[in-house]
């Protein structure tokens, strides 16, 4: 079967991009990354893509007169590359409603919290300030509202005594690198459906314990 052609949009470090590159390199993985697009030149994520031999483009938002023109250029690049699914991976621009609607259910994002908690920036600082015992990450279909949309995969991570935002972010990032490839595999295998704004995944297995306690004693 033809592999799903993926376009990844980045703005920086690209560690999630790397996790997706590594997953796509595994034998039999049902997706391939056909294009990496950054709105910032010279970032580490672009190096990662080049090293993997993936076609890269830089579209700097400052070169466009307005958001709509920027979104149109991104859309054209993705369409030209024959992309079937767009993965946002640390892409720090908000995409307009027309773009989001055009790519509806073919546009996913990873957010470093257990949505719907802590949408927006500084999630780890806010999780620590709120005193939650668990946080995590969410891979979701993108809707026009920020960090909103049907949830595909979540990974939960404990908040531990002595955590600061940096340590917590590192623990969540490790989970992100597992959650994003898993969500991509589900989609590329054609197992994901959005039904009334909730995601159904055919044949997925749930084997965590019935509950997790934190702390434990």
**Which residues of the chain form contacts with ligand GRF (CB under 6 A)?**
12-17, 45, 89-90, 110-112, 137, 173, 176
Residue 122 is among the residues annotated as catalytic for this protein: no
Closer CB to ligand GRF, 7 or 14, in the complex: 14
- Which two structure tokens, joined as six digits, stand for 15? 């560690």
Q: Which residue is nearest to ligand GRF (CB)?
A: 90
Closer CB to ligand GRF, 72 or 125, in the complex: 125
Closer CB to ligand GRF, 56 or 72, in the complex: 56
11 within 8 A of 39, measured Cβ to Cβ: yes
Min dist. Cβ of residue 216 to ligand GRF (A)? 27
Closer CB to ligand GRF, 116 or 190, in the complex: 116
Residues in the chain: 217
Nearest one of 150, 153, 134 to 142, comparing CA atoms: 150
d(C-alpha 97, C-alpha 27), whole Å = 37
183 within 8 A of 25, measured Cβ to Cβ: no
168 within 8 A of 124, measured Cβ to Cβ: yes
Min dist. Cβ of residue 1 to ligand GRF (A)? 28
Q: Which residues pair with 107 in a beta bridge?
A: 86
Give residue 216's Cα distance to chain centre. 31
Give residue 209's Cα distance to chain centre. 26
Closer CB to ligand GRF, 4 or 36, in the complex: 36
Choose the catalytic residue: 111, 124, 140, 177.
Answer: 111
Min dist. Cβ of residue 172 to ligand GRF (A)? 7
Min dist. Cβ of residue 116 to ligand GRF (A)? 15
Provide CB contacts within 8 A for 119, sequence distance 6+.
Answer: 111, 113, 146, 147, 148
Min dist. Cβ of residue 27 to ligand GRF (A)? 24
d(C-alpha 2, C-alpha 64), whole Å = 35
Helix (H, G, I), strand (E, B) or coil at 192: strand
């Amino acid at each position: 079967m033809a592999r799903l052609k993926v376009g990844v949009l980045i703005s920086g470090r690209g560690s999630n991009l790397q996790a997706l590159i590594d997953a796509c390199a595994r034998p039999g993985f049902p997706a391939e990354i056909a294009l990496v697009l950054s709105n910032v030149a010279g970032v580490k994520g672009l190096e990662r893509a080049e090293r993997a031999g993936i076609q890269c483009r830089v579209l700097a938002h400052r070169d466009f007169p307005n958001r709509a023109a920027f979104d149109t250029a991104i859309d054209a690049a993705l369409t030209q590359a024959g992309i079937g699914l767009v993965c946002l991976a640390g892409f720090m621009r908000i995409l307009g409603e027309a773009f989001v609607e055009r790519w509806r259910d073919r546009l996913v994002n990873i957010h470093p919290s257990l949505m719907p908690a802590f949408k927006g920036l500084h999630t780890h600082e806010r999780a620590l300030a709120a005193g939650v015992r668990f946080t995590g990450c969410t891979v979701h279909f993108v809707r026009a509202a920020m960090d909103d949309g049907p949830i595909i995969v979540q990974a939960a991570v404990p908040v531990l005594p002595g955590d600061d935002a940096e340590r917590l972010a590192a623990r969540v990032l490790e989970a992100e690198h597992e959650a994003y490839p898993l969500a991509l595999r589900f989609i590329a295998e054609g197992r994901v459906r959005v039904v009334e704004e909730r995601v159904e995944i055919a044949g997925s297995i749930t084997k965590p314990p019935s509950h997790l306690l934190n702390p434990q004693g």
